[in-house]
Amino acid sequence: MGVSAGTHRLRGVMSAGEIGLSLILLVGAGLLVRSFLRLTEVDLGFDPHSLLVATVERPLTAAFDSQQHSAFFQASLERIRNLPGVKEAALTQRYPLGPPHNATMMLRIQGAENFRPPQPISVTEISPDYFHVMRIRLLKGRTFSASDVAGAQEVVTVNESLARMLFGAHDAIGQHISFGGPSAPWKEVVGVVANVREDALEKEPVPEIFVPYLQQPSFSMAFVLRTESSPLILAGAVREAVQSIDKNQPLSGATTMDEVIAKSVAPRRFRMLLLGLFALLALLLAVIGVYGVMAYSSTQRTHEFGVRIALGADRQDILKLVVRQGFKLALLGVSIGVGGALLLTRVLSSLLYEVSAHDPLTFSAVAALLMLVALAASYIPARRAMKVDPIVALRYE
């Protein structure tokens, strides 16, 4: 009898441990899910839908100069704009969440030449229609125009973060900045645009300078197209348009902006799904464990239940007795799990976005779920126990 009681207690402890493990994993998965959902709600600063991006890198040889690069990109852009299904198209040296951007720490402000930026400043060459195609809001001033070419007054547009960093509450429009070296020319700030999540959804927007690509040509540019239907349908037509200008020019990385965003959060999605899978498996084991313990306990107490019923106990009392035992088991497991989850979330804190590692909503929701699941697993053995025939039960050994 002592061995049986000891075995029963061991099973109970193991079942409580399974509940605790389930809580730890479910809390971790819940925090990652909430963090992922918060990340998908981030204001990107642009409209990613119906956008195709495709990169072209021109050969860096003596036979090509910057003006030839500009002429090639301009001619290709005009061909692409005329493709059926293309609503708008533009050029950019780097698109959001794409390849690493150019950055400089050598930035001067006219009238405050001793200024040194506290962090690298992103520099991106774009065509005049880029902000319109991407649906990036213009906050002040103007965007670039067809007259912003080599030989004209050199101009830049800055984002809101850089305008605030450089000029504070003062108006950025009309100010002059220089970057790239001590002999770099002064450029007039003609516009301020809204911040865009350039590096990662979870990172704050970086200070950024936009330059007309015709004033500062680059050998590598990306076409961005806003399309009337599925963007990828036009990938082949875009390649043909580019190669109609230069038949030897390859086109790389043709993809949708939605896919770019999906790839940027893919590691987070993978961690969330993996931990969620383990959590569900642990929950299944916990349910089986609680059911097994309660079924075994009810069977061992069949004689006791028969005596209670024979002495006048209500069958609902038997139900409550078994369910109460399951409740205590679940409560022990949840208590163990909360302690373990508090330790686990310290490890997860670096993976979370705008969600506390000790988020009370997640902890309480998971704890409540496990209590309900444990009670449900206890209910079937409890129903069976309340239906026991007292005569049969009294004969049970």
How long, in residues, is the chain? 397
What's the rounded Cα separation, in Å, for the pair 4 and 172?
81
Confidence (pLDDT) at 261: 94
| pLDDT digit string (tens) for the chain, length 397 residues | 444 555 656 666 777 788 888 888 899 899 999 999 999 889 999 999 999 999 998 877 645 577 788 889 999 999 999 999 999 999 999 999 988 777 777 888 888 877 888 888 999 999 999 999 999 999 999 999 989 888 889 999 999 999 999 998 899 999 999 988 778 899 999 999 999 998 889 888 999 999 999 998 888 899 999 999 899 999 999 999 999 998 888 888 799 999 999 999 999 999 999 988 988 888 888 888 777 776 666 665 555 555 665 655 566 666 676 677 778 888 888 888 898 888 888 888 888 888 988 999 999 999 998 888 888 877 776 666 555 555 554 455 5
Asked if 58 contacts 249 with a C-beta cutoff of 8 angstroms, the reply is: yes
pLDDT of 94-125, one tens digit each? 999 988 777 777 888 888 877 888 888 999 99
Strands (E), 196-280: 208-212, 220-227, 252-256
Q: How far apart are CA 244 and CA 239, in angstroms?
A: 9
**Sign (positive or negative) of CA dihedral 368, 370, 375, 380:** positive
The amino acid present at 286, given as its one-letter code, is A
Q: What is the CA radius of gyration of the chain?
A: 33
Model confidence, pTM: 0.80
Closest by CA position to 15, among listed 374, 259, 367, 372: 374
Spatial separation of the C-alpha atoms in residues 234 and 259, rounded to whole Å: 15
Sketch the domain layout of the chain as residue ranges.
Answer: 2-42+266-395, 59-248
Rounded Cα distance between 125 and 148, Å, is 12
What's the pLDDT at 21?
Answer: 87
Cβ-contact 218, 59 below 8 angstroms: no
Taking alpha carbons only, the member of 366, 44, 374 closest to residue 197 is: 44
CA pair distance 190, 187, nearest whole angstrom? 9
Q: If residue 313 lies in a helix (H) or strand (E), which one and from where to where? A: none
Helix 360-386 / helix 302-310 crossing angle, nearest 10 deg? 70
Q: Are 188 and 144 in contact (CB under 8 A)?
A: no
Strand partners, 179: 107
10 Å CB burial of residue 3 (0-12, 13-18, 19+) is exposed
Q: In the structure encoding, which two tokens stand for residue 68, read together? A: 């030839």
- Reading the block at residue 144, the tokens are 């670039």
Amino acid at residue number 184: A
**Which residues are CB-neighbours of 306 under 8 A, at least 6 positions away?**
388, 389, 390, 391, 392, 393, 394, 396
Read off φ and ψ for residue 284, nearest 5 degrees.
Answer: -60, -45
Q: What is the pLDDT of residues 243-260, one digit of tens each?
A: 999 888 888 879 999 999
